[in-house]
């Protein structure tokens, strides 16, 4: 379980706490100037918290790294 506490307050980019009332639908960080939909920012925070709970070996491979690995493999087969 991921606690939802602070997920709407924390900036998903820099971790700065941006308190906001429920009526405010936009997350606007005064530190890194990130502007996101409030729920979008919260969902990124929840995703990050979830990833932090994964075992180390699963955490190594992110989506970006997976696509990079895939591209390298394509290059190798292209050379052969």
Q: Catalog residues that contact Zn ion under the rule CB under 5 A.
A: 11, 13-14, 16, 29, 31-32, 34
Closer Cβ to Zn ion, 14 or 54, answer by number: 14
Taking the C-alpha atoms of residue 80 and residue 21, their distance in angstroms, rounded to an integer, is 59
Provide the minimum distance between the beta carbon of 29 and Zn ion in the complex, in angstroms, as a whole number. Answer: 3
Provide the minimum distance between the beta carbon of 41 and Zn ion in the complex, in angstroms, as a whole number. Answer: 9
Closer Cβ to Zn ion, 47 or 66, answer by number: 47
List the beta bridge partners of residue 49: none
Provide the minimum distance between the beta carbon of 42 and Zn ion in the complex, in angstroms, as a whole number. Answer: 14
Residue ranges of alpha helices (H) inside 1-80 are 38-52, 56-59, 63-79
List the beta bridge partners of residue 17: 10
Closer Cβ to Zn ion, 31 or 72, answer by number: 31
What is the sign of the dihedral through the CA atoms of 22, 11, 45 and 43?
positive
């Amino acid at each position: 379980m991921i606690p939802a506490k602070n997920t709407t307050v924390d900036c998903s980019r820099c971790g700065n706490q941006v308190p906001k009332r429920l009526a405010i639908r936009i997350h606007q960080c005064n530190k890194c100037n990130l502007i996101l939909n409030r729920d979008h920012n919260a969902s990124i925070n929840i995703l990050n918290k979830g990833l932090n709970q994964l075992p180390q070996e699963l955490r190594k491979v992110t989506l970006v790294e997976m696509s990079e690995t895939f591209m390298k493999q394509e290059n190798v087969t292209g050379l052969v």
